Chain A
Amino acid sequence: MSISKHGAQHKQAFDEPLWWGLFSAGGVCFAVLLPAVILFIAVLLPLGLLPAEALSYERASALLFSVPGFLFIGAVVCLPLFHAAHRLRHGLFDISVGNDATNKKLMYGGAALLSLLALGLVLAGMLG
């Protein structure tokens, strides 16, 4: 066993608290917010069970492209994405797929890119 490997094992993981914090916050959002969000937007809306004007183009735009809409996307898209990234990274390790250092970059990097895209779309709608 080389000295460098020994040294690497004793390095503190100062990035892990950040990933775990985002995972935990995202887990709370996934559990508390997502059931209602999925029920109303992905089930009742396409089935036509909401009043016709509830999420018309005008009303949906007004609701989403606003400061509350920006916060809503942060809680319903961005944080749950980091939650998913964390579980996928550890799940890949659990079934011995890839290597953890690469998986980490792919998963958290993917979550960060999609989060930026989501928040960028809201900003574009607010400015446009």
Chain B
Amino acid sequence: MDKSSSQRLPPLKRNWWLKHRFFKLYMLREATVLPLVFFTLCLLAGMVALLQGAESWQGWVAFMGSPIVLLLNLVALAASLFHAATFFVLFPRVMPLRIAGHSLPDQVIVAGQWAGVVAVALLFFWLLGRV
């Protein structure tokens, strides 16, 4: 059979995702990487500053405290949590975990991943919250 025998429609217009709430949430999920990239670039700048010496490190900390940078990084924090909420529910669907022939309930896997987020935060608190 000729593979290209059937009719093909032209691609959707680029505003297709504005037509339904579900697709807008999908695009929001995909867009969480934009503030992530901003934070990553900040972090790279911080590493350069740390390499240059104490003075430029203090300069970088001050830069991170400027209102716009702080605001964008708060957006990045919110984006990371939204990403986590959307990403954790996908995990059991992509890799259903089986223990002794029984598949683990989805809620258990999702809760386990959130426990990971809390554990990492506690680790940071242990490392940086007290001196």
Q: Which residues of A contact B (CB under 8 A)?
A: 1, 6, 27-28, 30-48, 50-55, 57-61, 63-65, 73, 76-77, 80-81, 83-84, 87-88, 90-91, 94-97, 114, 117-118, 121-122, 124-125, 128
Do A40 and B128 touch (CB < 8 A)?
yes
Main secondary structure of the interface of A (DSSP, over half): helix
Main secondary structure of the interface of B (DSSP, over half): helix
B15 to chain A, nearest CB (A): 8
Alpha-carbon separation in the docked complex, A52 to B99 (Å): 47
A57–B57 CA distance with the chains assembled, in angstroms: 6
Expressed in whole angstroms, the Cα–Cα distance for A88 and B33 within the complex equals 8
B31 touches A91 (CB 8 A): yes
Chain A residue with the shortest CB-CB distance to B84? A31
> By the criterion CB–CB under 8 Å, are B17 and A32 in contact?
no
Q: Is the beta-carbon distance between A60 and B50 smaller than 8 angstroms?
A: yes
A42 touches which one: B3, B4, B64 (CB < 8 A)?
Answer: B64
CB-CB nearest in chain B for A83: B33
| B25 interfacial by beta-carbon distance below 8 Å | no
Given known A-B contacts A37-B124, A77-B44, A122-B47, A57 and B53 have beta carbons under 8 A apart? yes
Contact A51 B33 (CB under 8 A): no
A-B contacts besides A33-B120, A114-B44, 4 pairs, CB < 8 Å: A57-B54, A64-B50, A77-B40, A121-B44
Q: How far is the CA of A51 from the CA of B128 in the complex (A)?
A: 8
Interface residues of B in 53-72 (CB under 8 A from A): 53-54, 57-58, 61-62, 64-65, 69-70
- Choose among A31, A42, A45 the residue that contacts B77 (Cβ–Cβ < 8 A): A42
List B contacts of A73 (CB < 8 A). Answer: 47
B residues near A39, Cβ cutoff 8 Å: 77, 121, 124
Are A35 and B33 closer than 8 Å at their CB atoms? Answer: no
With A38-B77, A87-B30, A87-B33 in contact, do A118 and B47 touch (Cβ < 8 Å)?
Answer: yes
CB distance from B37 to the nearest CB of A (A): 5
